């Protein structure tokens, strides 16, 4: 479980970024951030992420029934979200609980911010 092996999401690299509508991203930043967007680029993972993000924490047993794919498939997708550092998992007794990593999630959102008066507003 990722409780004891939290993926090192070079938060520095993300946290120091301005919104992409403000300053172009360099290659290293892009290499760190792209996998996160990629992880959200699958409908199932996006829904998983939204289900996890909209509550403090949620049990896998509540996630799986919401989809038409098998348990292992959900587990695979959750693994992608975990390895990308977007979510954190913890086993408590029989069940595994997932929750978002707010710092990572927030930074990701910050990249897409559109500052009030940006040229992109044209």
Closest CA to 64 of 38, 101, 104, 98: 98
Q: What is the DSSP string of 4-59?
A: GS-----HHHHHTPPPTTTSPPPHHHHHHHHHHHHHTTSHHHHHHHHHHHTSS-EE
Determine if 11 is a binding residue for a second copy (CB under 8 A): no
Q: Which of residues 19-38 bind a second copy (CB under 8 A)?
A: 20-27, 30-31, 33-35, 37-38
Q: Which of residues 52-111 bind a second copy (CB under 8 A)?
A: 53-56, 99-100, 102, 105-106, 108-109
Q: Which of residues 67-86 bind DNA (CB under 7 A)?
A: 69-80
Q: Which stretch binds a second copy (CB under 8 A): 8-16, 41-49, 69-77, 89-97?
A: 41-49
């Amino acid at each position: 479980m990722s409780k004891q092996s939290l993926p090192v999401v070079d938060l520095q690299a993300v946290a120091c970024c301005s919104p992409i509508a403000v300053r172009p991203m360099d290659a290293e930043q892009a290499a760190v951030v792209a996998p996160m967007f990629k992880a959200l680029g699958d409908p199932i993972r996006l829904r998983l992420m939204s289900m996890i993000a909209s509550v403090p924490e949620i049990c896998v047993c509540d996630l799986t029934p919401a989809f038409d794919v098998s348990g292992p498939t959900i587990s695979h997708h959750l693994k992608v979200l975990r390895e990308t550092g977007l979510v954190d998992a913890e086993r408590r007794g029989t069940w595994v609980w997932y929750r978002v990593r707010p710092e990572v999630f927030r930074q990701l959102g910050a990249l897409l911010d559109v500052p009030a008066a940006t040229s992109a507003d044209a």
